[in-house]
Amino acid sequence: MTKKRAIFLDRDGVINKKAKEHDYIKNWGEFEFLPHAADTISQLNKKFLVVVVSNQGGISQGLMTADDVNSIHANMQSELEKNNAIIDKIYVCPHYIKEMCACRKPEPGLILEAAKELNIDLPNSYMIGDSLIDIEAGKKAGCKTILLADTSAAREAKPHFTARSISDILYLVN
């Protein structure tokens, strides 16, 4: 069976606006799409599987439940589908940083799980995120990486590519 190429997207800061520092998007009312996210995902769907890999440590901290996160994701997918944009699968790490699990980025567990389940060709896939931990997880999994950030963060993360916004990645992936 031929392996598929994928775009792995972090959620907060890539698809939607991030919550304030040390907070989480806890319900659909707090979720706000970033400009061009749906259009970009729709374009990516033409060449790649689109997979979300997201740390949601607020679950283990009791700030929200897995059902809350699943509801956010169901609404997100419904809104994206209205724009012909499809998320093929969503993987979530519910653990807080102190739990030292293999699925919380910067560890590559979510990406590796997706690769196994969805038959993904990791060296020809991309991890796109807005933080150093996203880039580190992508590198550990063997993906190409794209950081959505300013240049000072890019120097530290050493991604394969940088972009100012999600729409800019369309020029970087092939």
> Which tens digits make up the pLDDT trace of 91-101?
999 998 788 89
Q: Which of 12, 68, 130, 134 is catalytic?
A: 12
Does residue 1 lie in a domain region? no
pLDDT for residue 99? 80
Establish whether 168 is a catalytic residue. Answer: no
Q: Which tens digit of pLDDT belongs to each residue from 32-85?
A: 999 999 999 999 999 999 999 999 999 999 999 999 999 999 999 999 999 999
Structure tokens at 45: 């769907």
Q: Return the percentage of the chain with pLDDT > 90, whole number.
A: 83
Q: Which tens digit of pLDDT belongs to each residue from 98-157?
A: 888 999 999 999 999 999 999 999 999 999 999 999 999 999 999 999 999 766 666 677
**How many degrees, rounded to 5, is the angle at CA 160 between CA 157 and CA 163?**
80
Global pTM reads 0.95
10 Å CB burial of residue 128 (0-12, 13-18, 19+) is buried
Domain holding 127: CATH number?
A: 3.40.50.1000
pLDDT for residue 96? 87
What total number of domains does the chain contain? 1
Establish whether 68 is a catalytic residue. Answer: no
Does residue 21 lie in a domain region? yes
Quote the domain boundaries for residue 10. 6-171
Q: How many CA atoms lie within 13 A of 152 on its CB side?
A: 0
Is residue 54 within 8 A of residue 92, CB to CB? The reply is yes
Does residue 137 lie in a domain region? yes
pLDDT for residue 119? 98
